[in-house]
Amino acid sequence: MDQTTLNFIVVGASFALYFGIAIWARAGSTSEFYAAGRGVNPVVNGMATAADWMSAASFISMAGLIAFVGYNNSSFLMGWTGGYVLMAMLLAPYLRKFGKYTVPEFVGDRFYSNSARVVAVICLIVISVTYVIGQMTGAGVAFSRFLEVSSTVGLLTASAVVFIYAVLGGMKGITYTQVAQYVVLIIAYTIPAVFISLQLTGNPIPGLGLFSNMSEGQAGAGTPLLVTLDGLLTDLGFNQYTTGNTPWLMALFTLSLMIGTAGLPHVIIRFFTVPKVADARWSAGWALVFIALLYLTAPAVGAMARLNIMTTMWPNGVEGEPVAVDDLPDWFRTWSATGLLGVEDKNGDGLIQYYNERSPAMQEMAAERGWEGNELVTFNQDILVLANPEIAQLPGWVIALIAAGGIAAALSTAAGLLLAISSAISHDLIKSVINPNISEKGELLAARISMAGAIALATWLGLNPPGFAALVVALAFGLAAATLFPTLMMGIFSKRMNAAGATAGMLAGLILTCAYLFTYLGIFFIPGTNLLENTAANYLFGIPPTHFGPIGALANFAVAYAVSSMTAAPPQHIQDLVESVRIPRGAGGALNK
């Protein structure tokens, strides 16, 4: 059986499973559509939350980011994991105790203001729409490579699959589908990692293999893997893999990812699906366990893949000749056809050189050997995890699993984001602002129509990505950090925070962060229009756009408290409500349900 047929069978079987779950778990009420009837078991919810959280960025991109940068990009691991801990400790139990369906509903009721609710809806839609672009595009790329269809056909197929189980099942269907998707993606991620770890170090546990010695027959046999990798990198003029620089920027970026993560609405609403407040805490704990299975593996995947790539390009070490064009491995040729990987024999010597052409030592070597520069001209970091089984020459069924896992990761998060958008429109705009007297049947219909509209928009944006699509993570996390996270924190822990302060704070964080991102990413809504050259020299205090979330959050807090202090305190019943939400379990139990 050829590889494409095998890929179709495995991916098709996963789709059949998703459709079956959607039919079984069809939502029959708004409670089931928005919060799965608040009847999800904590372990099940933990697994669904992990799938919702581990998007295409975690499954596809994170290992590639770590592989090509090393220690500095460990910020992604620390920031995303730390942010989830913040969410679990400071937000999830209290929001569940409040007993609402959506984040804007909490904002609107806590701050007794439809204006605050509408601003929260705007923030949620901007965050979720920008984030979902990457998920749909990632699904299109995975379809394109593994099923050998165009990325357009792949993206449309992904949209159709999400449409069936998300519109039909709502949160109830998405929850149980995400459980299945978690199983698919974690198996797909860990099995290749186990094989590669065994090949390189003889250790079947990738996280331990990362710190083990290289096996006999491998480059640097008997030497620790990371030491071998550091040596290969420095020989080729690159920085050491295990060292970093600019600690304050690294800390700022980690903080941006942390508070951005804690403010992501599509993850927060998962904690509204469990029966009790205690279950929200337990599901958060289980989610951390399930997330850890992938996140403890990702650094090993990144390091081992970088090592495999370098030994592919320099099979005999730096003292030997680089790989000949005709000897490039099959995986290299396969991925070159996608346009995401490419080489160019610049000096026509029949060899492909891969080195840091900015390194003085390598410049000298290149001059002696007649090289014309780094000839690995294209390497899209997002292909790393998807190409890993082929790089390591693993069996065809493992490659098929990776295909199913990559698509599952993208679809699971896309579904959660689309549900957040749909709920905000149908429940927080139509039900709470435009037509409070709408029937439950009408609201459920509105929710499904909103979901269909959100899917159509996400598909269109995936097919026609705006100028900032490649930096969607920076925009989504920065905006979540600057808008929703501070507002939720103040809503839970400050009885004095009023509607005027919360609304002004969200607007300040939103406007300031958008202005900085659009300006310094050179977007300003018109692709190709640059107001400032995108260089560190022009950044405000040297802060890159991807690191700006905490600055926007600080502006939100400052404006919110300033406006709140100059305006009337919230009504007493709101202050009492805030106090009751924070009552520990067993200390009165008023809202412990």
The number of beta carbons lying within 10 Å of the beta carbon of residue 510 is 22
At 466, is the pLDDT very low, low, confident or very high (cuts 50, 70, 90)?
low
- How do residues 471-499 score in pLDDT, each as one tens digit? 566 677 888 999 999 999 999 999 999 99
Rounded Cα distance, 479 and 476, in Å:
5
Distance of CA 391 to the CA centre of its chain: 24
pTM listed for this prediction: 0.83
DSSP symbol at 379: E
Topology given in CATH for the domain delimited by 3-304+392-581: Sodium/glucose cotransporter (1.20.1730)
- What CA–CA distances, in Å, run from 173 to 110, 169, 181, 254, 342? 29, 4, 12, 33, 41
- How do residues 494-544 score in pLDDT, each as one tens digit? 999 999 999 999 999 999 998 887 776 554 344 443 434 445 566 777 788
The length of the chain in residues reads 593
Instruction: Return the bridge partners of 379, or none.
Output: 341
Contacts of residue 460, defined as CB under 8 A and 6 or more positions apart, other chains included, come to none
At 198, is the pLDDT very low, low, confident or very high (cuts 50, 70, 90)?
very high
Residue 341, helix vs strand vs coil: strand
Contact call for residues 178 and 48 (beta carbons, < 8 A)? yes
Highest-confidence segment of 54-63, 196-205, 270-279, 329-338? 196-205
Structure tokens at 47: 């697994």
Query: For the chain, which residues make up each domain, given as ranges?
Result: 3-304+392-581
Structure tokens at 79: 């920031």
Helix (H) or strand (E) holding 323: strand 323-324
pLDDT: which is higher, 57 or 405: 405
Would the pLDDT of 318 be above 80? no
pLDDT: which is higher, 156 or 169: 156
Helix (H) or strand (E) holding 69: helix 62-69
Contact call for residues 154 and 143 (beta carbons, < 8 A)? yes
Rounded Cα distance, 302 and 309, in Å:
11
Structure tokens at 438: 């709408």
Q: What's the rounded mean pLDDT across residues 65-80?
A: 84
Contacts of residue 327, defined as CB under 8 A and 6 or more positions apart, other chains included, come to none
Structure tokens at 276: 């009790």
- How do residues 282-315 score in pLDDT, each as one tens digit? 888 899 899 989 989 999 999 998 888 888 888 8
Average pLDDT, the chain: 84
Residue 11, helix vs strand vs coil: helix
Q: Identify which of 486, 464, 479 has the alpha carbon closest to the alpha carbon of residue 518.
A: 479
